[in-house]
A and B are shown apart, each in its own frame.
Chain A
Amino acid sequence: MLVYEKVSFGSECNNRCMTCPSARQQETPRLNELVAQIDALKNGENLELFGGEPTLHEDLVSLISYARKRGARRIKLVTNGRRLADADFLFHLVEEGCRIFEVKIYGSRPETHDAVTCVRGSLDETLRGLQNLGGISDSGGHEGDIYVGIRFGVTNTNLEDLVPAVAFLMSFSIDAISFVRMGGDFPIVQAARMVANAMKVATLNRIWSMCEGFPPCVMKGSETHLSELLQPVAFENDKPKSCLRCVFAKICTGPHGDYAGKGLRDFKAVSASPYSKDMEYLLKMRSIHAKQ
């Protein structure tokens, strides 16, 4: 819902995820280049630090401090969480003003998570990071001051682990979970069913959940959780012609490009939806986001 302006830390990472979108090697920016990115932002109010693994950058704390002094009001760190296993390091980040964390996870077990990250022991470190985030949010003068979102990468290897993973993650202090479809090499309809079940478990446990990369036609009954409807994006992917008849035609972005060519027959126009009467406001939401 909040729109963040992005600050890229390049592609250096301590995981080697098979699904990583930034497989292309980018140089790690120096502090002055990161500062320049911040200076060039339109608003500089909401910052998302991403790319590779920002926590590996030696100037991360200084940059957060700089962003805050420059007027940033919300600083979100997109991270694999491994370095947050170092409680002192995490404390520094929080003290400097980083209060919003999005931690990337691929499973509840090393067999699923580490298999994607290609680093043995990475899940263990990430979970220790999550534990530390919970510890900070429960004490240390920051009660309720930390927001922890989980960015759960959905791949062809962890579909069976989605529900157990959500149940497992409930023991950590998390505020929301996003299920993000990574790659197009698995049937979207089957994955959608698994994601919908996992989101139901989250809802039952009073945790807000969303999913990305799943059009409304494959997520009937879970439309309220579709990230593309709640945080409308400007781009649109290839869609079958039949999609023009869909009640969501004006708002659906279609499947991601990496899937489109493989299974357009998976997508069927939705002829009626209890949400069609809300279309006017979904479009208005898109226009609000577009202006930001």
Chain B
Amino acid sequence: MPSNSSRILLISFNVAGHDSLALGYIKAYALKEPTVSRRTFIEILNFSNEEGDVRQALYYITEFKPQLIGFSCYCWSMQKILELARSVKQIIPEVPLVVGGPEVGPVSDKYLEQNPALDVGVHDEGEAVFLELIKYYFAGKGKLENIAGISFRKGKKIVRNEDRSPIKDLDEIPSPYLTGVLTPRDGVTYLQSFRGCPFRCGFCYEAGRHKGLRFFSYERVQAEVELIMADSGIRSFHFVDSVFNLNSKHLKKLTDILCTANRDNKQLRTIEVFAEKIDEKTVEYLIQAGVQSIETGPQTAIPETQQRIGRYFDPEKFSRAVRLMGDRGIEVWCDLIVGLPGDSFFRCAYSVAFIMNLRPARVVMSILHVLPGTQLFEQAEKFGLSFDSQPPHYVVGSDTFPFKQIYEAVLFSSAVTKEYNLALS
């Protein structure tokens, strides 16, 4: 790091061993600007959310002496980030603290109001916003009032600027892998071929964001895939696309790219698929693409609940898809959520029985988090939904699912899924 460089720290708390792809994009986009890349040193710090200690991060910050800090915030990491931000402000109050990510985006004003340590909240996609913030803080360019897509603290007031349109051409964001910002590593390398989601599931923040999908060019995806395939240390990698089998044309194109590049039988693991759309031909594509395991819903097997949360579910097509994939050796992980409005203890138990009967490789249970920006968050009253206003926003009850039943359903499902998932290979 040149001694006259400006120093920026980007921090995330993730599942142990994982790098933040989001921060990789932000850094790669910022460094595209020659004035930034010449004069700025940006470091990404990834801490384990389970083991990472706030004081360990604080120590690093005091050693690194950043002049700007950005935090990537999720429901699971927000409490740690707030704790860290409070301590940072005590030690180096002059350093602006910027928060962004799905936990903050939809409610950034509220976070600024309630947390005096925070200076700027990013409403949505962070790449272009953060670059403008770098220019503002380090080159003195422009005014915070003119940066679309942020809320910021001005004296005792919180100012909310207008939202910013997302970047239309995703190829404007350089690849964090191709630029060397992130180093591909075995099992924890995440690629992305598009942003957005065609579905509007009430519990998912992706649904509450922009309508429409935006794609990286196939040439760009191909270059990233080639880079990973050429790395002999990588045995498996992932795509973070909301739906890998978005449509047959897209799936065919990705399959061609993966199939052509995969000379070393690398495995593509835990991609998300829309199961009801899977037929024999799709399974064939997935196999050609090197897909070893997939993750899919249904979150609940209760049709009324599915309808309430705006999710499409066809039990027959879903079951057929799980069996088709399982028969061809693809590991299928089925997800269920405990606490959805419309469910109850026994409905949840039925969902578990329904899924286990399909014999997926694994059943993954989680408790409903009522996330900011989701339909369930916005319309909680309509669903009789109560939840903790503080992250990770665990559900406390709904009109059909009182807390006692939710608590019992969590214990029940944890025990039965542990027993189920102990299957020998």
Query: Would you call A100 and B349 a contact (CB within 8 A)?
Result: no
Residues of A within 8 A of B412 (CB): 208, 224, 230
Residues of A within 8 A of B302 (CB): 281
> A72: which of B344, B347, B424 is its contact (CB, 8 Å)?
B424
Which residues in window 142-179 of A have CB below 8 A to B?
144-147, 149, 175-176
What's the dominant secondary structure at chain B's contact region? helix
Residues of A within 8 A of B344 (CB): 275, 277-278
Query: Would you call A147 and B346 a contact (CB within 8 A)?
Result: no
Closest CB of chain B to A109's CB: distance in Å?
Answer: 26
**Do A1 and B346 contact each other (CB < 8 Å), given the known contacts A68-B424, A99-B422, A147-B418?**
no
Query: Which of B93-101, B118-126, B269-277, B353-361 interfaces with chain A?
Result: B353-361
Residues of B within 8 A of A97 (CB): 424
Q: Does A285 contact B (CB under 8 A)?
A: yes
A75 to B424 Cα, complex, angstroms: 9
A145 to B346 Cα, complex, angstroms: 27
Closest CB of chain A to B184's CB: distance in Å?
Answer: 28
Q: Does B1 contact A (CB under 8 A)?
A: no
Query: Would you call A74 and B352 a contact (CB within 8 A)?
Result: no
The interface bits of chain A over 250-292 (1 if a CB of B lies within 8 angstroms of the residue's CB, else 0) are 0000000000000000000000000101100110110011011
Closest-by-CB residue of B relative to A46 is B423
Query: Would you call A224 and B357 a contact (CB within 8 A)?
Result: no
The interface bits of chain A over 214-225 (1 if a CB of B lies within 8 angstroms of the residue's CB, else 0) are 000000000011
**Do A74 and B347 contact each other (CB < 8 Å), given the known contacts A97-B424, A203-B411?**
no
Closest-by-CB residue of B relative to A231 is B353
A275 to B408 Cα, complex, angstroms: 14
Residues of B within 8 A of A83 (CB): none
Closest CB of chain A to B316's CB: distance in Å?
Answer: 14
Residues of A within 8 A of B357 (CB): 288, 291-292
Closest CB of chain A to B345's CB: distance in Å?
Answer: 5
**Do A1 and B418 contact each other (CB < 8 Å), given the known contacts A72-B424, A278-B346?**
no
Query: Would you call A229 and B346 a contact (CB within 8 A)?
Result: yes
Closest CB of chain A to B269's CB: distance in Å?
Answer: 20
Closest-by-CB residue of A relative to B302 is A281
Residues of A within 8 A of B346 (CB): 224, 229, 275, 278, 281-282, 285
Q: Does B414 contact A (CB under 8 A)?
A: yes
The interface bits of chain B over 388-418 (1 if a CB of A lies within 8 angstroms of the residue's CB, else 0) are 0000000000000000010111011011101
Query: Would you call B418 and A203 a contact (CB within 8 A)?
Result: no
Residues of B within 8 A of A225 (CB): 408
Residues of B within 8 A of A285 (CB): 346, 349-350, 353
Residues of A within 8 A of B423 (CB): 73-74
The interface bits of chain B over 353-382 (1 if a CB of A lies within 8 angstroms of the residue's CB, else 0) are 110110100000000000000000000000
A201 to B114 Cα, complex, angstroms: 38
Query: Would you call A278 and B419 a contact (CB within 8 A)?
Result: no
Query: Would you call A278 and B424 a contact (CB within 8 A)?
Result: no
Q: Does B383 contact A (CB under 8 A)?
A: no
> B352: which of A1, A73, A99, A224 is its contact (CB, 8 Å)?
A1
Residues of A within 8 A of B345 (CB): 224, 275, 278
A6 to B2 Cα, complex, angstroms: 71
Residues of B within 8 A of A277 (CB): 344
Closest-by-CB residue of A relative to B352 is A1
Q: Does A206 contact B (CB under 8 A)?
A: yes
Query: Would you call B424 and A206 a contact (CB within 8 A)?
Result: no
Q: Does B41 contact A (CB under 8 A)?
A: no
The interface bits of chain B over 161-188 (1 if a CB of A lies within 8 angstroms of the residue's CB, else 0) are 0000000000000000000000000000
Residues of B within 8 A of A278 (CB): 344-347, 350
Closest CB of chain B to A34's CB: distance in Å?
Answer: 19
A146 to B422 Cα, complex, angstroms: 8
**Do A1 and B349 contact each other (CB < 8 Å), given the known contacts A208-B411, A224-B405, A288-B357?**
yes
Closest CB of chain B to A208's CB: distance in Å?
Answer: 4
Q: Does A207 contact B (CB under 8 A)?
A: yes
Closest CB of chain A to B304's CB: distance in Å?
Answer: 10
Other A-B contacts than A224-B345, A288-B357, 7 sampled, CB-CB below 8 A, are: A72-B424, A206-B411, A208-B411, A275-B346, A278-B345, A282-B350, A284-B354
- B residues whose Cβ falls under 8 Å from a Cβ of A: 302, 344-347, 349-350, 352-354, 356-357, 359, 405, 407-409, 411-412, 414-416, 418-420, 422-424
A-B contact pairs, 26 of them (CB 8 A): A1-B349, A1-B356, A1-B419, A1-B420, A2-B416, A2-B419, A68-B424, A74-B423, A75-B424, A99-B422, A100-B422, A146-B422, A147-B418, A147-B422, A175-B415, A175-B419, A208-B414, A224-B345, A224-B408, A225-B408, A275-B344, A275-B346, A278-B344, A278-B350, A282-B350, A284-B350
Q: Please give me the 9 A-B residue pairs with the lowest Cβ-Cβ distance, nearest first.
A: A278-B346, A208-B415, A281-B350, A73-B423, A208-B411, A1-B416, A176-B415, A224-B345, A99-B422
